[in-house]
Structure 1
Amino acid sequence: MSGPAGTTSIVFAAASRRLGRTAAVANTALIIAGRRLGVLIVDWSKDGPAAADYFERFGAGAPPDSRVLESLFEQLTPRRPRGWRFDRFQPPGDSGPIDVATPVSDGRTGQLPELPWEEPIDVVVDLVRRAVDGSGYRYVLVDTPTAPAAGLQEVIARTSDRTVVLSEASVAGKRAAAHLIRKIDDEALTDITVLPVISGMPPGEHGGGPAVGRVPVISDALGAPGGADDEQAILGVEGGAGPLRVPYDRDRAERHVLAVLADGPETPEVRAYVRLAELVTGGEVTAPPALSADARQNYRAALGLADTGSPREIAIVHAWQDRLWADWAGACVESGGAKAVLVDAEDPDAWAAAGPGGATGTPADDRVTVVMASENLFRTLPPEELPEHLDLVCRLPGTPEERVAGQPRVLSLDPGDPRRVTALERDLKARLDLLDRTAGPAPSPSPRPLVPRHPLMRPPRCRTNVMLFPHRVFAGRRDRLREMRDRLTARLQDPTPYVLSGPAGIGKTTLAQEYVRLFGADYDTVWWISARTPELTRLGLAELSRRLRVPPKGDAVAAVLAALAEQSRWLLVYDDVEDLSELDGLLPAEGAGHVIVTSRTVAPSSTALEALPTGVGVSMLRAQVPSLTAEQAEAIVAMLEGEPLALTLAGAWLRETTLRLRGRDREVADLADWASAEYQAKVAQRLDDDDGDVVAACLAVSLAEMDVQPLAPLAARVVELCSWLAPEGVGHRILASEPFREALAGSAGPEALRPLAADGMVLDQVLWLCARYGMAEVLAGGRLLRIHRRIQELVQEGLPAETRERRRRAVMLALARTVPAQVDGPIQQHDELFGELRRHLPRLEAGQETDPAVRHWIVEQARFGYVSGDRGRLEDSVAVIESVLAVWPGDHLTGRLWAQLANYLRDLGEATRALAAGDRAIGILTEAAADESLAGVGEHAILAARRGQAADRRRLGQFSQSLGQMQGIYERTRSRFGDGHRDTVLAALNLAEATHLNGGHQAALDIASEALEIQERRLGLDDWLTIRVAQRVAEYLVVLGEPGRAGLLLADQRERARLMPTPDPLAVLHLDHVQGILWRDHPGEPARRPGQGTGGAGQRTGLRGVQTKAAELLGPDHPYTLSAGFSLAIEAGLGDRPRKAVRLATACREGFQRRYGDGHPFVQLCLIGLSGFLLGDERTEEAVAHAQRAYDALVDLLGPGHPWTLAAGLQLSRALTASGDVDGALELDEDAVENALEYLGEEHPYLKVAEEAARCSRTALARGRPRRRPVLYVDVPCV
């Protein structure tokens, strides 16, 4: 497959990570370059490290023809103009240059450009091969993503001359590699060479490697238990040498060590890579590049390899407030090959760590000390106390030059221009005699370890949802912050959580917020996730998915976690986790970011917070009340045992009390003295009542004080009511609502509400009063009131049982009454209301409530959850809804909730359970509608439930029952609501689908076309329902043999879908599926109308992309995914790839069998396809058996005149012809012609196929040899 210019394509692949695949690519390229053969690395790996990382010290600019190369490769990623960068590297020694092609990530989303998977696979393959051949290099080495997806496997198989598949040494790893080898081999159209390579080698050993040749298909050998012989069997290696082994060392991989430069030519490691290069070049390269001993030693020294001694240690002394600057300087030092030791100047042992011996025993003569000079530092360490001859003084922005005038080596860290930061990094290294390892290209777009950025280089727009209370007092815990920062920044691409644990009120959340305040500028994304329940955690991750604009998929959580693995500079905070095990599957597994978790649960790996030291508590109180003496503050801290939440309440009480009493002819000091004594007395009395709980005692004192202040009683009642709501916060919209005011009146009394009625701003005063007393935080400019969960719990516990229940119900009813009695329009329009109510509902324990308003809220909340939820949440919600239905009475609200449950189950592909739930809904709603006092109630819900039930019957193969039911539903809906109503259009759409499945293709087209015309008149073109109806019209046009009309209609709808303001990924997927079938069956049809733009939903998406997206959106076993997979199987069968078609069709058949049973019509369609594909693979006997089985089943299920029965008969006749039974084939063909005329009409395309098949059979009988027969495959419809 080498190109005309002699280009050889070598692809490196692996089924799992951390095998040294990129190291193998880099070392192989280096050996090839040693022969001065042109070599290009195409770095398509999404894993770190990048190929360019191995050569970053040898940057030589760009290749001379880089613009030509970029234009050539940009054809591979048409959605992203300027999506490639080419860099040249010149390794040391007698080597030619190595060029690296790197796809450039999107600056906004961090996503890498993709191959145009929307195109047919043949087009993608041609584009890749043209780019490789047109590059002009002798060898092109392609580093692919780990575990390449099915589409990429096919591209590898059809574009590579040699493929290297790396494998783990374990039996499981070898089996995974063997599976990947078999997949690639199956996709190949011609013989290809696949070279299995074991990662990791015993010291002093390397494998000889197999003979270059085609790797046989692996079959029974997959069960081999291990050992040398079994290893060869598992991997399918021919010859006795065994598979090649190459080195892998994780530490070296993280440091991007090139073994060919670091190790001698006779070492096993280098010899293994040379053997690999020899195999992939067909013997053209047989030796490593020449390199002098000095050059090798310099390289080893630059990378700090073991035999060069310990790296230099550089102490960076800084003020705590300047930690960001010290982090950045430390990163520069580390990248230069030295070890950075950060020293806080306020640490008593700071100069001991920076002095002789340092932190690791560095000799005094080798000691290097850098000081980050700033006014913050000079408050602790005055300039005159600095040593006279520091190695370097870094003057931070805002620090006058004269403050460091006595120091001989000063470097200003203010670059002046952000574009000069890289030059500043080099200058810093040069001053410290460090190697410049930043020379060369810009950082790779792949996720990299989170390196602290220059503090003046803040992200232009940080994606964050964090709201910090501006008036919070934070004191102490610098050691914990330092530890948190050290541990997070020390990790590479490993987002292992830093867990803060401790009892409620100990300051876990506050500490995490302080970390965000101090170091948030180092991140491009900072996302706070309320994680006290798994549902809330999923909700927070789903919100992050929308903020990052992750393409909608079936499980938003899985999608965003996968996206984070490919992005860098993100921080996730999971706050208030009840049980750490509940985070399983909800944490990023990889990626260049950080995770902080707060939890009351103490785990072995967590950092447990304890009470504040006395000195810190004193500082905290005196920050609130400066007139307190140290002794007074110490007494209060001792009484409150250093509990941060208790100290917050105490400081607020003292501040408010002294402010209230000021001006009453008393000195400030006297006020503080009195307030301190008074507070201690009140708390001491409460401690006896609260069993020694200091937070409970302080809260009781504050609430008692509030009861005697103006507006304070109202504020106390707000705190009481909000204690039942989500601690994440209560929106101002709810607090200001009339139902909530009525709840306040019920608890505080009508008189207390008079100020609110007179002046709307009084509510804001009340909310801020809650904040002033330390019981709440007012955030987002007053739009959110947040109360600590511990305070909520204590408030509830402090109420008598009867009052507690009364308050809970009052709040529950208030929130229920904020839900409109009639939720108009699409429920997504009420996203703000239902989005917040979703957080409060579980706290109120409303599932057992009988009040109609609450139950109405639950029904509407279920509707909202259905239309806005991801697949994972749908599954969780089913169990919740079922538990509620178990206790609700049998009225119309219960019927509506049963109908919503049916919707959930239907969306999950559970048609049988959905049908049963629909039966319950219809029965209850019908009985409720019979009540004369509820005349008309539930009619719409009944029709909607029946419509859903008819859809379930279609999915279950009950086509005639569905059609009969839909005819009645359509007439009833039209008579009830008229032709133009949305529900009538939906009913018409469903009727068209049922008619189509029953074989009435033309009638289905007529019904759908009329519905489309009505819908366009009613709402115009820009509506998702219009697009869905148009998609069905196009689908029926394709079946009826009108590809031209279908193509134009689809092109218009896909462009409209692209311009829609809100996404509907399932509707787009349907469009793409029909379009893919159109292009498959009519390859001459244009992709779009002349002049139509490209981009977004308007892009072509091939059937491979449809199947992949369906699996992501709905799951691999969903009926829609199986349907898309079968369409792909037909594409493979028509493309003369029968083995692939058989494999895909078998998987689809088995999937439908598991879900619906052997007798379902969809299973028979799969058998029809399988029969044809088996004929292509010359398995005639099996083909006859499959076709006969499908034909017999469809005659019984659908009758002889159904189009699918005709298709089965034609396929059976085709198989019989191949088996030699032409008489039997002709009989079937003549029956097909007769049935097609009778049931389908003279214009149906199936009649033409049947007539052509009959002619072929007659010709075969007359001439004694078969004639090429027409092929008719039927796609499994998506219902």
Structure 2
Amino acid sequence: MPAPSAAPAGHAGTGDSTVPGPGRVLISYAGPERPWAVWLAHVLEQAGFRASPVHWEVDRRDALGGALEDLRAAGGRVLLVLSDWYVRLADRTDEEWMTACREVTERHPGRMTAVSVTHRPLPVGTALLEPVELWTVSEAEGSPARTGPARRPGRGPRRHRLPARPAPRFPNDPPLVWGAVPRRNVRFTGRDALLLDIQRLLTDAPPGAAVCALLGMSGIGKTQLAIEYAHRFSNDYDVVWWVDADTSGTLRERLAELAVELGLTAGSEPGGRVRAVREALRRGEPHRGWLIVFDGWDDLEEAGELLPQGPGHVLITSRNRGWHDAGATVVEVPAFLRHESVRYLTGRARRLQHDEADAVAIALGDLPLAVAQAAAWLSESGMGVDDYLRMVLEGEPSEPYGPDQVSHLSRSALTSWLILIDRLRDTQPHAAELLALCTCFGPGAIPLGLVRRVPPGELPEALAEAVTEPRHWTRALGTLVDYSVITREHHGPGDEAARPEDDVVYMHRIVHDIVARLTPPDLRRTYQRLVRRVLAAAGPGNPQDARLWPRYAELLPHLEPSGALSAAEPDVRRLVLNCLMFTYVSGIYRAGLELAERVRARWEELFPPDDPQMLDLTVRQGNILRAHGRFHAAYDLDRAMLERLRATPGTGRDVALMSATSCLAADQRFLGQYEEALQLQREVLETALALRGPDDYLTLLARHNLGAGLRLLGRYAQAYEIDVETLHRRESLLRTRHPATLGSSLACARDLRLMGRYRDALARQELGVRLHVQVLGPLHPQTLRARHNLLLCELRATGGPETDAGMSGLLEQMEQVHGRDHYVTLGLVVDLGNHAREQGDLDRARDLIAEGESGFRDMLGPAHPVSTGMLSNVALVLQAAGEHVDALALFEAALAGLTATLGPDHPWVLGCALNAAAGRNVTGRLDSAENLSRDTLRRARRALGADHPFTLSCEIALAADLRALREREQAAKVEEDALQRLTRTLGAQHPQTLAARRRTRPTWDFEPYLG
């Protein structure tokens, strides 16, 4: 056997790779005990020794004494870290251990010693090494004097000390946060070099970019590798959190749960908690050392929104090779090496000889999942290897049913599973029934215990006995575990399920696909009906109750496998609609869109378009499309629904018509059809008042939306009246801290700011933000909108001395929540660009404004009022840069375009006119500038009032034009009137008042707002 490598396992070492000298210690450990080896190396180095951890590798065919002698031959002293893993890797009898230990201690007294990190008995021969038991001690007790070399006679440690480095955590001390990492596989074999490669890739990655994706086909062992990594390297981290990422809903929910463990105040909404978690991880607060494992993350669509960044590490298992383009370092997970397959087979099925295990490994192509199943079969069945190989290579045990989802498996690997399933049907029928039942849930975590809540008389006869008799249930699950078909899960970290009804099992996707393909269609339909009933009974109820969202996230992956999307049962359809509502209110829009599309494809075959259930589906789907920024798709869907309802009148359709009309009005607001939207919204409110009365939830929602429509049309005072009434009614009927009430408070603050009542708006919005943070969390979408409005209120009321920093920080968080190209984020990009221009940072302003203008034009089209208004912001940057002619052309285009779509008196049109007049003035068109300024002032007084700050800006602009025409007396009179009003309205020291006194010509920033 060659001498073992002395390369440290994840330990910095000393930089000296030479053979250990008398003052050095070689620490021999099995891979899973790396935390002990690293910690021991640290304490020995602190005592003056020079320690080198090395993996323990020994071939079963080599003599144990020779392997130990090879360790000793490296020079210096040897410290064995004895554990179950260490002994299992050696795979020797007690007699062999006795002989080997006697030989090494007699030949080299005092040069080899040991520590024990297991509570189980060790081979008797290891007693000759006088192992020190460390598995029960504290870190203080595990002193260098007890660990071996320091207590031996002979040459002492070197006198010099190594430079201090951060101490690894004591292995008996778990990470501060340990998040439902699956149990360690006690049969995990090999992969040591691959694990070290992963650790090195993560450690050496630049800060914020430590993302490693383990790629490979199903059954290759990606998940087991990630589990072992999390356990083996756990003492490198303060936080280790496991996320089942098979579906977007479970991914978000599981990641959101970390907020509680980190002590974050983020409300109860999963989206807000996810954002709070990502922000905490990015900042490295409260913990810099973190590992997040995403298992089974194949859909990359939300990677930009959910993938954490920061000082920690991210490990992903996936079949999607797109992770390379998403910025992850990709690691291809290969099949077992042949010696790893052999070691696994001989370790599980101990009667196998090396050559027999080698033959089985060859037949199965070293695929880890197939090797594990074969080892379990050969261990449990007692079948001879020759017979097993004959069946695998030549047998045709069953004719499969259904589509082939496992074509990537070799014929021999697939046949090995078919043998097992046929055998279970013959010898363990209860286990076979539970196995078939599992495939009618989704793969991954399966709440199998829910079936025990069904009355036995209502269960299929073949299953009833297993469910009603605890010993049959326990034996059946135990058999499936023994054969490596499932693993047992539990609800809480470290807690076993308290009752059989809480049993959760885990089934690998490939096993799920194989068994599903081999289950007869009649049996599968029977069990699907049962699972649908179980899921419907477990439905939590009101999907708008955030406390119930974790339960909805657990049920979501099982809808499609159970056939719930095509079900005829009313309670199952209700569950599907509730799950769809859950995706909307919890903010997992992409998952909601995917679910809605699948449901629609099924339901269109079952129901006519005007069926009430199709209408419910359309409302939910349209809401998600709109929230996701797909306004045209939502409009087409909602308009078609409304047209169908209007074409087929009938009794009992008033509420449906009201809902459909409300949805279409919302679409029109986002698409810039403001007058049409307002007319529809008035119809909705009238209908709601007639059907529901003034204090119904839907009536208040209709009133709130009417205020939004008035605001978009620039009728700020009318919007405020509506919003104040809605706020008071919601405070009375709901509560002050209800999210809907907070939404009304935000609307009122926005109205006040647009009305020019900056101090009132600031006072209301400061309180509103505090309540938003307390109730919904700092990163909830509604909280972010409130914080955005607060920054604008501060800017208008005080000049906002810290506006730039506040906007930059908020923009970073909005990107986490929505992505950079979402309309909410783009709105903040534009406001930050406008502020940069005002501060004189023209390069930054140009980039941000160009990004916002392009983003809105691509999203909304060039004719949308927001796209048109953005031209004025672009022109302001050009004008500040001295490009006056080009700026004026854009000012005039914005003015003409908005006048045509919104009319001459809309505040946005007046703002464009204020800027266009400035452009005419600076290019020498003085008479035209004066005429436009005078007309704009007249219209502003009528639309906004004589004392509105914008109206007073128009007055200051007119005075500037009059001075340019040398009409100084009239200019002075206009200017003095404006200054008096500004002082009375805003105060003598307000930035706008001071700028007017300096005769700085005012301009108007367009704030893109969609509703």
Same fold (TM over 0.5): yes
Q: 1:644 aligns with which of 357, 369, 372?
A: 372
Q: Structure 1 502/599 Cα, relative in aligned 2: closer, same or farther at 3 Å?
A: same
Q: Corresponding residue for 1:1273?
A: 1005
Aligned to 1:369: 77
Give yes or no for contact 1:530–1:537 (8 Å, CA) kept in 2. yes
Letter in 1 for 2:809: G
Q: Show the 5 A alignment for 1:227-238.
A: none
2:996 corresponds to: none
Cα shift readout 1:489-523 (whole Å, capped 9, x = no counterpart): 5554256859596885x877667656656665554
Q: Which moved more, 1:861-870 or 1:689-698?
A: 689-698
Aligned pairs for 1:1001-1012 (under 5 A) are 1001-1012=716-727
- Distance across 1 between alignment mates of 2:49 and 2:660: 69
Asked if the contact 2:11/2:38 (under 8 Å) is kept, the reply is no
Aligned-partner SS, 1:843: coil
Q: In the alignment, which residue of structure 2 is the partner of 1:1031?
A: 746
* Residue 440 (structure 2) aligned to one of 712, 724, 730: 724
Give CA-to-partner distance per residue, 1:640-691, whole Å, 9 cap, x none: 999432553575678xxxxxxxxxxxxxxxxxxxx999x9999999966449
- What is the correspondence of 1:540-579 to structure 2 with a 5 Å cutoff? 563=281
Contact 1:553 1:1112 in 2 (8 A): no
Q: What does 1:605-620 correspond to in 2, within 5 Å?
A: 606-608=334-336, 617=345, 620=348
Q: Which among 171, 179, 182 is matched to residue 455 of structure 1?
A: 171
Matched, 1:734 2:462: no
SS at match of 1:455: coil
| Post-superposition CA distance 1:428-458 (Å, at most 9, x none) | 899653964443xx75xxxxxxx96442343
Give 2:906's aligned amino acid: H
Contact 1:371/1:393, CA 8 A, preserved across alignment:
yes
How far apart, in 1, do the equivalents of 2:317 and 2:854 lie?
43
Deviation track 1:1119-1155 (CA, whole Å, cap 9, x = no partner) reads 2222212222332343344554444333322322222
Equivalent residue for 2:898, pick from 1165, 1190, 1194: 1194
Match of 2:427 among 694, 702, 705: 705
Q: Distance in 2 between matches of 1:1177 and 1:1009?
A: 43
Q: Which moved more, 1:332-341 or 1:1153-1162?
A: 332-341
Of 935, 941, 965 in structure 1, the residue corresponding to residue 680 of structure 2 is 965
- Give the aligned partner of residue 344 of structure 1: 56
Question: What is the TM-score normalised by the length of structure 1?
Answer: 0.60
Which amino acid is the alignment partner of residue 672 of structure 2? G
* 1:1070-1109 correspondence to structure 2 within 5 Å: 1070-1083=785-798, 1102-1109=806-813
Q: Structure 2 counterpart of 1:915, which letter?
A: Y
| Cα 1:694–1:385 shift into 2, 3 Å | same
Structure-2 change in CA distance of 1:746 and 1:1201 (3 Å): same
In structure 1, C-alpha distance between the alignment counterparts of 2:64 and 2:816, rounded to whole Å: 53
Partner AA of 2:373 in structure 1: L
The letter for the 1-side match of 2:810 is: V
Asked if the contact 2:250/2:553 (under 8 Å) is kept, the reply is no
Partner residue in 1 for 2:862? 1158
2:204 aligned counterpart, secondary structure: coil
- The alignment's C-alpha RMSD in Å is 5.5
Letter in 1 for 2:446: V
Question: Which ranges in structure 1 are unaligned for 5 or more consecutive residues?
Answer: 1-253, 257-300, 444-450, 623-628, 655-674, 1088-1098
**Candidates 1227, 1250, 1259, aligned match of 2:954:** 1250
Q: CA shift at 1:1033, angstroms?
A: 0.6
Q: CA deviation at 1:811?
A: 3.2
Cα distance, 1:1078 vs structure 2:
1.5
Report what 1:92 is aligned to. Answer: none
Larger deviation, residues 1023-1032 vs 973-982: 973-982
Give structure 2 stretches of 5+ with no counterpart. 1-9, 88-93, 322-329, 365-369, 400-411, 491-495, 972-998
Higher helix share: 2
Q: CA deviation at 1:345?
A: 7.7
**Counterparts of 2:477 and 2:147 in 1: how far apart (Å)?**
49
Shift of 1:1003: 0.7
Distance between the aligned counterparts of 1:581 and 1:1110, measured in 2?
Answer: 17
SS at match of 1:1082: helix
* Matching of residues 301-450 of structure 1 within 5 Å: 315-318=26-29, 322-330=33-41, 340=52, 342-344=54-56, 348=62, 367-372=75-80, 380=97, 382=101, 385-386=104-105, 387-388=107-108, 390=110, 393=113, 395=115, 417=139, 433=158, 436-439=161-164, 443=166
Matched, 1:866 2:584: yes
Query: How many Å separate the matches in 2 of 1:687 and 1:615?
Result: 26
Q: Quick one: which amino acid aligns to residue 750 of structure 2? A: E
Distance 1:1195 1:406, change over 3 A: closer
Map 1:465-544; keep pairs closer than 5 Å.
465-468=180-183, 474-475=186-187, 478=189, 480-489=190-199, 491=201, 492-494=203-205, 504=219, 513=227, 520=234, 523-530=237-244
Separation (CA, whole Å) in 1 of partners of 2:320 and 2:785: 47
* Maintained 8 Å contact 1:1015/1:1026: yes
User: Are the structure 2 counterparts of residues 910 and 646 from structure 1 closer, same or farther at C-alpha, using a change threshold of 3 Å?
Assistant: same
Distance 2:776 2:460 in 1: 43
* Counterpart selection for 1:1145 from 837, 849, 854: 849
Q: 1:309 to 1:896 in 2, by over 3 A?
A: same
**Superposition deviation, residue 1056 in structure 1:** 1.3
Say if 1:921 and 1:945, in contact at 8 Å, map to a contact too. yes
Which secondary structure state, in structure 1, belongs to the residue aligned with residue 629 of structure 2?
A: coil
Say if 1:1185 and 1:431 are closer, same or farther in 2 by CA, change over 3 A.
farther
CA distance in 1, matches of 2:709, 2:320: 55
Q: Contact between 1:498 and 1:606, CA under 8 Å: does it hold in 2?
A: no
Instruction: State how far apart, in whole Å, the 2-side matches of 1:322 and 1:1269 are.
Output: 72
Gap change, CA 1:705 and 1:1000, over 3 Å in 2: same
Structure 2 letter corresponding to 1:1012: L
Contact 2:113 2:149 in 1 (8 A): no
Residue of structure 2 equivalent to 1:913: 633
Conservation of the 8 A alpha-carbon contact between 1:1047 and 1:1075: yes
Distance 2:371 2:873 in 1: 71
Q: Following the alignment from structure 1 to structure 2, what is the Cα–Cα distance between the partners of residues 580 and 1044?
A: 45
> Taking structure 1 as reference, are residues 809 and 1186 closer, same or farther at Cα in structure 2, changes over 3 Å only?
same
User: One-letter code of the match for 1:725?
Assistant: F
What letter is aligned with 2:628?
L
For residues 1127 and 507 of structure 1, do their structure 2 counterparts lie closer, same or farther at Cα, with a shift above 3 Å needed?
closer
In structure 2, which of residues 536, 539, 542 is the aligned counterpart of residue 824 of structure 1? 542
Q: Could you say which residue in structure 1 is the equivalent of 2:459?
A: 745
Structure with bigger RCO (C-alpha 8 Å, 6+ apart):
2
- Check if 1:954 corresponds to 2:669: yes
Deviations 1:267-298 (A, max 9, x none): xxxxxxxxxxxxxxxxxxxxxxxxxxxxxxxx
**SS of equivalent residue, structure 2 residue 27:** strand
Describe the shift of the 1:1137–1:524 C-alpha distance in structure 2 as closer, same or farther (beyond 3 A): closer
| Residues 499 and 598, structure 1, Cα contact 8 Å, conserved in 2 | yes
AA aligned opposite 2:834: I
User: 1:1010-1069, CA deviations, whole angstroms, 9 ceiling, x for partnerless residues?
Assistant: 111111111221122211211111111112222222122112112112221666621111
Match of 1:1124 among 781, 805, 828: 828
Residues 1191, 311 of structure 1: alpha-carbon distance in 2 compared, 3 angstrom cutoff: farther
Equivalent residue letter for 1:910 = R
In the superposition, relative to structure 1, how do residues 882 and 1106 fare at CA in structure 2: closer, same or farther (>3 Å)?
Answer: farther
Cα pair 1:529 1:573 within 8 Å, conserved: yes
Change in CA separation of 1:1230 and 1:370 when aligned onto 2, cut-off 3 Å: same
Structure 2 residue matching 1:1060: 3-state secondary structure: helix
**Aligned match of 1:43:** none
Q: Determine helix, strand or coil for the equivalent of 2:798.
A: coil
Change beyond 3 A, Cα 1:534–1:997: closer
Structure 2 partner of 1:672: none
Counterpart residue type for residue 1159 of structure 1: A
Cα deviation for residue 590 of structure 1 reads 9.3
State the shift of 1:995 in Å: 0.7
Matched residues in 2 for 1:521 and 1:538: separation? 26
